[in-house]
Structure 1
Amino acid sequence: MQALALHPDGHADGVDVSPYALERAAAAAAEQGLTDRLTLHERDARTYVPDGDYDLVLCVGSTHVFDGFAGTLRTAGRHVNSDGILLIGEGFWEAPPTPAALAALDAKPEDFPDLAGLVDVAEGAGWTPVYAHVSDAAEWDDYEWSWVGSLTEWALDNPGHPDAAEALTVAQEHRDQWLRGYRNLLGFATLVLRRAR
């Protein structure tokens, strides 16, 4: 929606399997007056086939859908036109992972490269980074606290809901995995990529 706001002649498609996420996106689009330029699709992004190529394709924090960063470069990248931009947000090791970090993420060391390795993977797939934003510790903390905090608040505000106890447990487990596992070890970068010529 930010891209649509910046480009008044643009049109966008949003793809997600979550009806809730799509409902929230539709409400936000209506609030911003973007409904006529945004089409939402409830389906698996791996099988989404657009009518044409896009000037911009975004996949931030969802590369697991395409089996990781390399798979996202391949799958999401096929929808980008020859002069277009692929914007991907992906994790990377800021420091060598500890056993606690690997357990918290249910990961292996090779599941994430370091930042230089992330760039190498992109370039190896024919994409050239033209810019990247590396989230700092404060941004990561804000993201994680918002994630666990919103779920915790919902559970505390809805104690009679059948899912409240489970939501509280999930939030607490995630918080512990982050604070005692991967905090300050797993970083996050959003890369702006163009095809190599």
Structure 2
Amino acid sequence: MEVHNLQNLVVETEKLMKKSIEKLVGELAAIRTGRASTALVETVKVQCYNSNMPLKQIAGITTPDAKTIEIRPWDHAVIADIEKAIYQSSLGLTPVNDGKIIRLNIPPLTEERRQDLVKLTHKIAEDFRVSIRNDRRQSVEMLKKMEKDKKATEDEKFKLEDMLQKLTDQYIKKIDEISAGKEKEIMG
């Protein structure tokens, strides 16, 4: 993080925290909830055209109903590669290939699996809380260095530390809200 003045420190810290929230949302979207969602399969890596490509780059993905995902490859030559990638993924879904479309039926989650997914959600959320706190800690260390180098007064340091703490609390609260929403979705 490159910081040249005090206000910039808070702005840059908030940018890092926003990125963490975006990553959290992306990771939680990939967790199965018993409801069909294109996010479940969009990032599955498919070995085709001599490279590993995300599924969303080689096929249209739709959810015609709450329990089905349809994958329509733009090039039917890669349909077997897509099917293989889904089998090899950790999704635990069985693709049904009719030659043009691959369908994935989403089975209902067992209570035990729901509990496991809730635990996973909590773990992911905690990892991102730690990330947010680390962003704050790095900024506070920079602030202390700026004070030591006479680029900030003690009053400015305390004021900005308070701002950074409020920012941290705000983003931790967002993580808690996102995590609680995902947990509610899983427990359905």
* Higher normalized strand content (fraction of residues): 1
* Higher normalized helix content (fraction of residues): 2
Q: Larger Rg: 1 or 2?
A: 2
State the TM-score, normalizing by the size of structure 1: 0.33
